[in-house]
């Protein structure tokens, strides 16, 4: 088995050497220039390139390399190496040693989680703190904040308004710049594209699609199609409700509230403190 240093990938315009890490087996990547969205869960890799609308899934020891201009993305399952190259910026993750390295030009910073390293690079305005199993990274230029705790990854990015939460095999991502909303949970895929105003959720063999323009909601199960009218949906408040069987799910974008209604019970977890509250249905 090669060492972490031998697992380094060279892919950059100026051939910069780099390493980078993503916690556990979940990887999330977004490249602004080429608008690449990638999530890796277990042995499965999902890649979406908006410019050419390409979607790639890699499972096992396969390697996928979508290259767009000078933007290269590579993940090798066998060696567990994750690399993203954007211009002269290279990001690589080697899962074995859980090391994180960012190389931009001639500036390199590397916090290692084991010895609780702390690094700040003024040129790139990068702030990183590693404490035990928790890693906190703030990049002032694009206002990125990352928190890694165990298998939980929390990353909102203010500049391009990307929000990612990975908890075990549950991922939640919202990208404001490209207006893509994608939570992945096990075999469930959830996508919302603001430009086309299409909302789609796929769970097993069931597909759910919501188009905001005509307020239509469609559920496809086997050969059956269900279309309830979105009477409760108010566009001004940006309220979205999905009904599955006897369960209703509501998402309010303004206060970032999420409501789950099951029979007579209402559950409202808040994103800020991750609280979960049971509320009577008619309260």
Over residues 70-99, the mean pLDDT reads 37
pTM, 2 dp? 0.15
Three-class SS state of 246 = coil
Token readout for 54 is 């390409």
Please report where in the chains the tokens 């201009």 appear, as a residue.
Answer: 69
The pLDDT of residue 123 is 35
Domain locations in the chain as residue ranges: 5-188, 189-280
Q: How many CA atoms lie within 13 A of 30 on its CB side?
A: 22
* Torsion over CA: 93, 98, 99, 100 (sign): positive
Provide the pLDDT for residue 66: 37
pLDDT digits (tens, 9 = 90+) for 189-235: 333 333 333 334 433 333 344 433 333 333 333 333 333 333 333 33
Length of the chain: 283
Arithmetic mean of pLDDT, 257-274: 36
On average, the pLDDT of the chain sits at 35
Structure tokens at 166: 């990975």
| Pairwise CA distance, residues 175 & 196, whole Å | 15
Task: Provide the Cα torsion 152, 153, 156, 157; round to 10°.
Answer: 180
pLDDT band, very low/low/confident/very high, at 269 (cuts 50, 70, 90): very low
Distances (CA, A) of 99 to 11, 22, 109, 133, 158: 18, 8, 11, 12, 24
Residue indicated by tokens 């993305």? 73
Residue 90's SS3 state is strand
Share of the chain above pLDDT 90, in %: 0
Average pLDDT score over residue span 5-29: 27
pLDDT of residue 71: 35
């Amino acid at each position: 088995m090669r060492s972490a240093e031998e697992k380094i990938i060279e892919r950059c315009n100026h051939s910069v050497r780099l390493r980078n890490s993503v916690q556990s087996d979940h990887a999330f990547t977004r490249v602004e220039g080429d608008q690449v969205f990638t999530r890796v869960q277990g042995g499965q890799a999902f890649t979406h390139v908006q410019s050419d609308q390409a979607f790639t899934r890699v499972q096992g020891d396969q390697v996928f390399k979508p290259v767009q201009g000078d933007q290269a993305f590579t993940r090798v399952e066998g060696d567990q190496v994750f690399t993203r190259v954007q211009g002269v910026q290279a990001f690589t993750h080697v899962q074995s040693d859980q090391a994180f390295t960012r190389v931009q030009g001639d500036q390199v910073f590397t916090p290692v989680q084991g010895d609780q390293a702390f690094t700040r690079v003024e040129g790139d305005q990068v702030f990183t703190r590693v404490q035990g199993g928790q890693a906190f990274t703030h990049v002032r230029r694009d206002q990125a904040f990352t928190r890694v705790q165990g298998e939980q990854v929390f990353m909102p990015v203010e500049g391009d308004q990307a929000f990612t939460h990975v908890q075990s095999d549950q991922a939640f991502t919202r990208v404001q710049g490209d207006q893509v909303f994608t939570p992945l949970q096990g075999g469930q895929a959830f996508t919302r594209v603001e430009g086309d105003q299409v909302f789609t959720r796929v769970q097993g063999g069931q597909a759910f699609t919501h188009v905001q323009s005509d307020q239509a909601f469609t559920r496809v199960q086997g050969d059956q199609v269900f279309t309830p009218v979105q009477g409760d949906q108010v566009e001004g408040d940006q309220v979205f409700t999905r009904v599955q069987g006897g369960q209703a799910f509501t998402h309010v974008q303004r206060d970032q509230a999420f409501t789950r209604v099951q029979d007579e019970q209402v559950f409202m977890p808040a994103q800020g403190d991750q609280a979960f509250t049971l509320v009577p249905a008619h309260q």
